[in-house]
Structure 1
Amino acid sequence: MKKIYYLSTCDTCKRILNDLKPLEGFDLQDIKTEPITPSQLHEMKAVAGSFESLFSKRARLYKERGLAQKNLTEEDFEKLILEHYTFLKRPVVLFNDQIFVGNSKAVVDAVKETIHP
């Protein structure tokens, strides 16, 4: 599978997608206009290992809701990601049986090396 979940209104996502070109064969899904489904999220979790690893603790809503002060469970992370796109750490790149989550330099470099060896 070659799929990228991203946010079209996010300048960082746009920059990363541009850096990853060419993206031949990749299915791109803008999570704002086409929300992720429970089955898609479970597919990501199966490769990533947990919902927490897919969860963005930098999201504005995370701070606004005071979620840092709560002891969130895997079920909570799943529910929150499905509730609002901002809780998904992005971009998420699925490439064959690998997953790359987030926008750190190390993750982006790993994606580049994997999809364009």
Structure 2
Amino acid sequence: MKLYGLKNCDTCRKAMKALDAAGREFTFVDIRAEADLGTLAPNWLSRIASARLINTRSTTWRQLDAAERARAETDPAGLLAEHPTLVKRPVIETGGDVFVGWTKDVQAALGV
């Protein structure tokens, strides 16, 4: 299992703490420093709608101009590669599945 997120993200920290408590092994990957979003984003977007993967409530999103925001529809992978903090966190890969966020549904699917 790989957990993609940011070290200072509260939601990512909650997810890591819960996974540790449940005895689930995972590898943490910092999406800003370690992840190759140019490769990962298209793969995730082939399984998840861009509306679920792009965090439109983030500070980064609010700072984008209208043309950049329009890329969420036309080039979501490119937008995420250029602005890693737009990725809704955490993104968890396990087996062939990809989960976004740390909702009750995600926790149940992961057995946490």
Q: In structure 1, the residue corresponding to 2:75 is in which secondary structure?
A: helix
Alignment of 1:1-117 (within 5 A): 2-21=1-20, 22-24=23-25, 26-48=26-48, 50-67=49-66, 71-103=70-102, 107=103, 109-116=104-111
Report sequence identity in percent.
28
Question: What TM-score, normalized by structure 1, do the two folds share?
Answer: 0.75
- Which blocks of at least 5 consecutive residues in structure 1 are unaligned? none
Aligned length: 110
Cα-to-partner distance string for 1:37-90 (whole Å, 9 max, x where unaligned):
322112211221x3332111012121122449x544533322221012111011
User: Structure 1 residues 73-82 or 54-63, which shifts more?
Assistant: 73-82
What CA distance in whole angstroms lies between the structure 1 residues aligned with 2:52 and 2:63?
20
Q: In structure 2, the residue corresponding to 1:5 is in which secondary structure?
A: strand
